[in-house]
């Protein structure tokens, strides 16, 4: 299992594309490599990279390549999200999608072709970098649906078109997409679990403890919170093929949901529990560095999520993640007992009947699988010998 961090530059956050300072970035990347991490995930900001529908700024692409190469110098591989999209509670739109030019970013054919141009340009530029790992279409783009209404069928068209673009421009790397937890837990959300679990080279999960007030509901030291990322991984597996690879792409310890004094324990337990899951590509911690307090209007929980503070000082959390990277983690386990899931999304979220049934088994010391298919062939392929119902 690979370990990395979602990179949030210490000096300028992702406004770094406006004030690109290589020395600061090199310091940040060296700090992450010093923990034993092997990759970072980085975020081009959409309006900076594509200020006009027909224009991709060459300077911005050059800076992205510079960052990737600085990662190589530090010994880090780099994965790139294409369309931002949504980051740390802020939504970023280029002006050509807003106000008098308002277009739906999922359904308007002109916007789709503009996004295709951006992703094609980035994938083509990145393809030859030896430490490049592949692209995610964008970060949690489903957070934009409130202002860009769409149907599940329209989302599928959007995903299929853009995945085709990056796969054609760069067939040498695995490319995927990501979604906030609503895709898994909200019944009518247009980004569906099936789309997450079948489209792209792997499934990504972002099991956040603040979703549906999970940490406040159960407590930061509860079984439900320590096993949340493991549960999210196994839930995703139920929707996909037996051998589908899953990437825990975002997981973190936001205060006050996880109080600072419990963050180390949360990290240790979360990483160890995810390690028991099979076919996990890696775990990428959110995030590398705290958001500098000079930036205002972030929700309070966004400021302190880093492994390092904004001055580059390692926090106890950094040392805990480094220890986990170097420790002998639990091995993936055979999950011979499975809990049957009926596919009702709201039941699978924190507070839902299925969620709580799975967690009761976890409290008993079991490592249950989750299945939606009970045919003998499927159960045999999963190694399941006992199926329980809620």
pLDDT in tens, 163-196: 999 999 999 999 999 999 999 999 999 999 999 9
**3-class SS shares of the chain: helix, strand, coil, % to 5:** 45, 15, 40
Give the N- to C-terminal CA distance of the chain in Å, as an integer: 31
What pLDDT is recorded for position 226? Answer: 98
What pLDDT is recorded for position 252? Answer: 98
What pLDDT is recorded for position 375? Answer: 97
Tell me how far apart the alpha carbons of residues 245 and 138 are, in angstroms, rounded to a whole number.
19
Tell me how far apart the alpha carbons of residues 158 and 164 are, in angstroms, rounded to a whole number.
10
User: Taking the CA of residue 183 as centre, how many other CA atoms within 13 Å lie in the half-sphere pointing to its CB?
Assistant: 30
Q: Measured in whole angstroms, how far is the alpha carbon of residue 264 from the centre of its chain?
A: 20
In a domain, 317, yes or no: yes
Number of other residues whose CB lies within 10 A of the CB of residue 341:
22
What pLDDT is recorded for position 107? Answer: 98
What pLDDT is recorded for position 45? Answer: 98
What pLDDT is recorded for position 225? Answer: 98
- Cβ-in-10-Å burial (0-12, 13-18, 19+) of 126 comes to buried
Q: Measured in whole angstroms, how far is the alpha carbon of residue 79 from the centre of its chain?
A: 11
What pLDDT is recorded for position 341? Answer: 98
- Cβ-in-10-Å burial (0-12, 13-18, 19+) of 336 comes to middle
For residue 92, the 8-state DSSP code is -
- Is 215 strand, coil or helix? helix
In a domain, 81, yes or no: yes
Tens of pLDDT along 91-113? 999 999 999 999 999 999 999 99
In a domain, 24, yes or no: yes
Tell me how far apart the alpha carbons of residues 15 and 342 are, in angstroms, rounded to a whole number.
44
- Structural domain count of the chain: 1
Asked if 386 and 371 count as a contact pair (C-beta separation under 8 A), the reply is: no
For residue 289, the 8-state DSSP code is B
In a domain, 372, yes or no: no
Length of the chain: 390
Question: Mean pLDDT in each 10-residue stretch from start to end of the chain (390 residues)?
Answer: 97 97 98 98 98 98 98 98 96 97 97 98 98 98 98 98 98 98 98 98 98 98 98 98 97 97 97 98 98 96 97 96 93 98 98 98 98 98 97
What pLDDT is recorded for position 74? Answer: 98
Tell me how far apart the alpha carbons of residues 225 and 214 are, in angstroms, rounded to a whole number.
7
- Is 331 strand, coil or helix? coil
In a domain, 195, yes or no: yes
Structural domain for 191, as ranges: 2-332
Kindly provide the residue ranges of all beta strands, DSSP E only, lying in 107-239, ordered along the sequence.
132-138, 203-205
Tell me, what CATH number does 199's domain have? 3.20.20.80
In a domain, 207, yes or no: yes
In a domain, 206, yes or no: yes
In a domain, 189, yes or no: yes
Tens of pLDDT along 5-28? 999 999 999 999 999 999 999 999
Q: Which tokens sit at 39?
A: 């990759």
Mean pLDDT rounded to a whole number for the chain = 97
What pLDDT is recorded for position 359? Answer: 98
């Amino acid at each position: 299992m690979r370990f990395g961090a979602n990179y949030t530059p210490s000096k300028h956050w992702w406004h770094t594309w406006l004030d690109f300072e290589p020395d600061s970035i090199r310091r940040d990347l060296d700090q992450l490599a010093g923990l034993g991490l092997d990759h970072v995930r980085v975020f081009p900001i959409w309006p900076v990279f594509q200020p006009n529908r027909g224009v991709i700024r060459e300077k911005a692409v050059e800076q992205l390549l510079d960052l990737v190469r600085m990662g190589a110098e530090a010994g880090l591989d780099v994965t790139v999200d294409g369309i931002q999209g949504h980051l740390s509670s802020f939504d970023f739109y280029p002006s050509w999608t807003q106000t008098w030019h308002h277009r739906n970013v999922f359904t308007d054919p002109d916007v789709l072709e503009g996004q295709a141009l951006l992703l094609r340009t980035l994938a083509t530029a990145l393809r030859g970098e030896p430490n490049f790992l592949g692209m995610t279409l964008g970060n949690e783009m489903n957070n934009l649906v409130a202002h860009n209404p769409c149907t599940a069928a329209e989302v599928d068209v959007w995903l299929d078109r853009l995945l085709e673009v990056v796969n054609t421009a760069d067939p040498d790397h695995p490319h995927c997409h990501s979604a906030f937890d609503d895709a898994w837990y909200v019944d009518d959300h247009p980004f569906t679990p099936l789309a997450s679990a079948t489209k792209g080279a792997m499934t990504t999960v972002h099991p956040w403890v603040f979703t549906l007030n999970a940490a406040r509901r159960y407590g930061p030291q509860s079984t439900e919170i320590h096993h949340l990322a493991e549960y999210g991984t196994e839930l995703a597996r139920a929707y996909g093929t037996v051998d589908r690879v899953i990437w825990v792409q975002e997981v973190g310890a936001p205060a006050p949901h996880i109080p600072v004094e419990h963050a180390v324990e949360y990290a240790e337990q979360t990483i160890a529990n995810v390690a028991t899951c099979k076919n996990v590509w890696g775990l990428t911690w959110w995030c590398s560095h705290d958001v500098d307090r000079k930036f205002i209007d972030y929700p309070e929980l966004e400021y302190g999520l880093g492994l390092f503070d904004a001055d580059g000082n390692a926090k106890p959390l950094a040392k805990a993640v480094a220890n986990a990277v170097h420790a002998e983690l639990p091995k993936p386990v055979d999950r011979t007992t499975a809990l049957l899931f009926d596919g009702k999304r709201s039941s699978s979220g924190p507070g839902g009947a299925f969620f709580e049934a799975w967690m009761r088994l976890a409290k008993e010391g079991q490592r249950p699988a989750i299945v939606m298919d009970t045919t003998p062939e499927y159960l045999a392929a999963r190694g399941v010998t006992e199926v329980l119902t809620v």
